Amino acid sequence: MYAPNPPSPVPMVSPAPRPTKFAALAWTALILGIVGVVGSPIIFFNNLTAVVAGVGFILGVIALFGSKKILAAIGVALCVLAVVFTVIAQGAAVKELNEKFGLPEADKKASGQTYAMGETHRGTAVDITVADPKAFTTGEYAAPARKAKATSYQVTVVNHSDKPWSAALLIVQATMGNTSAEQVFDTDAGLDGAPSQDILPGKELTFRVGFVDAPGDVTIQVGTVTDDKVYFVQKR
C-alpha cells in the first residue's frame, strides 16, 4: 500500500499595501506651512509666503479626507500660523515706520472717525484740525443771535496734495447735546464763516467758526466734497 501524498503547502502571500490617499497633498501642505512660518518675519517677502501658506491650507484641508490625516492637520495648523505671524509682523513694521517718521497717532485714523479737540484728521488731500475752543459773547450786530453766549473754534486745514485745494469745499457744522447748534456770524469777533480761497500745496489755512451755546457735549462735524465726514468732540 502506498501512503497518499501529503498536501502541498500553500504559499504565503504578503497582503497588498494599503493605497495612500491624498498623501502627497498632506506632505505638500506641511512643506508650504513650514515655508510660510519661516518667511513670516521677513517684510515684503512674507507677502509671497503668506500666499504660499494659503495654498497649503487649501491642500491640507483636502488632505484631511485622505490617509495622512495627522500630517495634513499639522500642515493646516502651520499654514494658519504662517498667515497670523505675517499679519502681526506687518502690523509691527507699519507701527515702527509711523514712529520713525514721526506720524502722529491721529494720522492713522481713517475718514469717518471721531477725534478729540486738538487731534488731526489726515484726509486724501488735506489735514484738518479743530482746536482752541473759546467762550465769548456775540456782538451787537451778530447773527443769528446778539449778546448771546457762544463758543468759537479754530479750524486748521493743511494741503498735503500736489494741487491747489479750495477751502470752499469745506463744510463745518456743530451739535451741542442733541441739538443742532446755530453758527454765529460776527464780524467783531472775526467770525465771517468758512473762507473760500485756494490753499496751495504745502500751505495751510487757519480760521475760526463760532456757534451759539447749548447744554451738552459739543461735536464739530467737518466734511468735504472729497472726504468722508469727521467729528471733533469737546466734553463739557
Ranges 100-104, 124-128, 204-208: which has the least confidence: 100-104
- Which pLDDT belongs to residue 13? 53
Beta-ladder partners of 114: 231
CA distance 162 to 124: 11
- Which pLDDT belongs to residue 99? 56
Which is nearest to 36 in space by CA: 5, 68, 67, 75? 75
Instruction: Say if pTM beats, i.e. exceeds, 0.75.
Output: no
Residues 83-120 pLDDT 10s: 998 888 887 877 666 555 444 444 444 556 899 999 99
CA distance to 3, 12, 14, 144, per residue, from 7 (Å): 12, 15, 21, 121
- Characterize 134-161 residue by residue with b for buried, 16 or more Cβ atoms within 10 angstroms of its Cβ, and e for exposed: eebebbeebeeeeebebbbbbbbbbbee
Which is nearest to 228 in space by CA: 131, 122, 129? 122
Binned at pLDDT 50, 70 and 90, residue 67 comes out as: confident
CA-based radius of gyration for the chain: 34
Residues 15-36 pLDDT 10s: 555 557 778 888 998 899 899 8
Binned at pLDDT 50, 70 and 90, residue 10 comes out as: low
CB atoms within 10 A of CB 39: 20
CA distance 173 to 176: 10
